[in-house]
Structure 1
Amino acid sequence: MTDDQPGNTGPDEPAGSEDPGVLRRPVTDTDARRASRVWWDVDADNYQAEHGAFLGDLDFVWCPEGVREADARLLGKLAGRRILEVGCGAAAAARWLATQGAQAVAVDLSAGMLRHARQAADRTGVRVPLVQADALALPFGDAAFDTACTAFGAIPFVADSAAVMREVHRVLRPGGRWVFSVTHPMRWIFLDDPGEGGLRAVHSYFDRSPYVEQDATGTPTYVEQHRTLGDRIRELVDAGFRLTDLVEPEWPAGHEGVWGQWSPLRGRLFPGTAIFVAEKPAP
């Protein structure tokens, strides 16, 4: 899980909420990108203060359920591989990959999160190239990487996530692997509540309207997108990938932590995270 790990993650308010600042409505791709850049710049310090200890400075955690790449091995071989972390946040995953012998590069839209990445590099002495860039326009040549990954980075926050899939496909070499985690789509049926209030279905699974927080002028300040499982698979296939696995982590015994809407109560009943594993077929 990178530091673009879920913040608000999903619909906080029921349909018909009286809060004019929280709603579900269409937004343009430009508005979504602007909101994400500003939100993560402003929220970077609070986010790290709240979640930094769980994420670590040198670790690769895929999700609030605590799945670690050291155990799951979803990326395959690491040593000697050029690996791109998209939506890296404070880049803990990229630094961990570097300790495993990978040539890791970390990309994020937010200067605030990359500031935390530089601070963590100073603390650990492990440094990877940090690039401020948009996932919709990766500043790398074709077939530049062996592997690409993100844990809750970029994909939930862009209107055209299919374009992200195409960009990742472009920068991967044939045979390369693309692994990403997102909030499990079925969570969008429920309120963003870790308690019993989050066990009641209130939204249609098929409503793709994004979750939007906006200011008094109606300008989006936080935007998160919903896609169904089928949507995600079609995005991958249409971009040229082959889906090889879909991991739905179970809530582990003894894990009593709460992260936003993730909790033992909900986690033991239905999945909170979906991890997609895909490959760019070799000719």
Structure 2
Amino acid sequence: MMTTVTKATVAFIGLGTMGFPMAGHLSQQGYQVVVYNRTDATAKKWLAKYQGKQAFSPAEAASQAEVILTCVGNDQDLQQVYLGDQGIVGAAKPGSTLVDHTTASAEIARELESAAKAHQLEFLDAPVSGGEAGAVNGCLTVMVGGEQSTLSKVAAVIDCYAKAVNLIGPAGYGQRCKMVNQLCITGILQGLSEALKLADAAKLDINKVVEVLQHGAAGSWQLSNRASSMTANEFDFGFAIDWMRKDLAICFDEADKLGVALPLAKQVDNEYAKLQQRGYARADTSVLIKQFDDEQR
């Protein structure tokens, strides 16, 4: 007689662009999923698509789970979700593991780890890269700060929506790695924008250029996935300027504390600010190429 193995109950708090499909993968992989989202309609939409239960506060969700995952907006949201009156830390069962996938500061990660330890809980800061497509396709890159023993306990859970999971160092180091990730993307997009403007002026076939360059030293995810859409003036998708500027502000704050100059990132951030004023706040970050629009000169 065949026996069914019941998987752990997992809470997922924050069903935004990333969290919605991430929580969905957990449900599809057989986990008992309890979801909470600040906007009730989004939670209802998730439940219409996936198997699971709805909670009506972070505390209610956390109290039912062994693993509690979060993916919210910023440091302030994390303070409320973890440490507020209806927060996770005060409600989670001792021994539970808390995993935060929000892109936030290293400081909040260390603060949440300290609060977790005080309540006999374990915590990982685990920001992700791969965008909405990576979340939907279950192939995110996860950068983890915390203890290896903690990560080992929840590796199978994270694997449901990740293609690569790496421990970078102690609490806060996952967030610092994500800062490096965002700075790399920023620089690549500026270089790609300039390169595509030159290619266009020289009347090169962009698709042929991408086909040639993607296998060499100039190859990048941005080149392979954004060059054609940038050339076609398509930006109504992907990772929005608003989100990138939020992330860059975190990078600048950390760099100031460490005495590191970020001249290119600050230049790009300034261009993004101008593009926001032109109405591109929710456009994909590759809209950076529009800094060169003739009418803006």
TM-score class, shorter: 0.3 to 0.5
TM-score by length of 1: 0.39
- Structure number with larger C-alpha Rg: 2
Which structure has more relative contact order (CA 8 Å, sep 6+)? It is 1
Structure (1/2) with the larger strand percentage: 1
